[in-house]
Amino acid sequence: MAKGDVRPDVGQKTNPIPNGDRTIPRSIPFSILTAIETCITAGKSGDINASLSLKLPFFTSQVSAGFPSPADDYLENPLDLNQYLIRHPAATFFVRSSGDSMIKAGIHNNDILIVDRSLEAKNGSIVIAVVNGELTVKRLYIKGKNMFLKPENPHDPDFVITQDLAFQIWGVVTSVIHEFKSHS
């Protein structure tokens, strides 16, 4: 055997990957090990999305008052809020609102906003913007070459975007999660 030849049964054993993918060693914080192992197990079974979903019963009858009948006739397929509310998971993040400047849009203090960074902000979109280093949620309006952020509260003034401001749109708000405090 010449120098540099591969010697069988010597060195680190390889664990064959069924589809021939390469492997890369990584350090994983112990605190998230269980979650990663769950994803790996789901990935081996070919259904990684199943491990990340939570499907709950979804009643098709509309509720005007009271609770819908739990009869099976009114059950539709289970509803997974991740699939329903998040169209682009890799580009989506959550942020908590503060203040009452968007109260007329249904965004209350301390609500959780679902923000999609992959969507293009259009005239009338509710956006998360950074203005001079501070995050804000407002409705974006564009008139010609002028752009401004409009609160949904008649007591708050519009905010005109000028070239002097450091301004960036972080994403479009697609949904709001509002928790009623009276149930606790």
- Which one of the listed residues 97, 125, 138, 150 is annotated catalytic? 138
Q: Is 138 a catalytic residue?
A: yes
Q: Which two tokens stand for residue 43?
A: 């990935």
DSSP 18-64: TT----------GGGHHHHHHHHHHHHTT-HHHHT--EEEEE-S--S
- Which one of the listed residues 101, 122, 143, 150 is annotated catalytic? 101
Q: Going by C-beta distance under 8 Å and a sequence separation of 6 or more, which residues neighbour residue 4?
A: none
CA 137 to chain centre: 16
Q: Is 101 a catalytic residue?
A: yes
The Cβ of residue 126 has, within 10 Å, a number of other Cβ atoms equal to 22
DSSP state of 125: -
Give catalytic residue positions. Answer: 101, 138
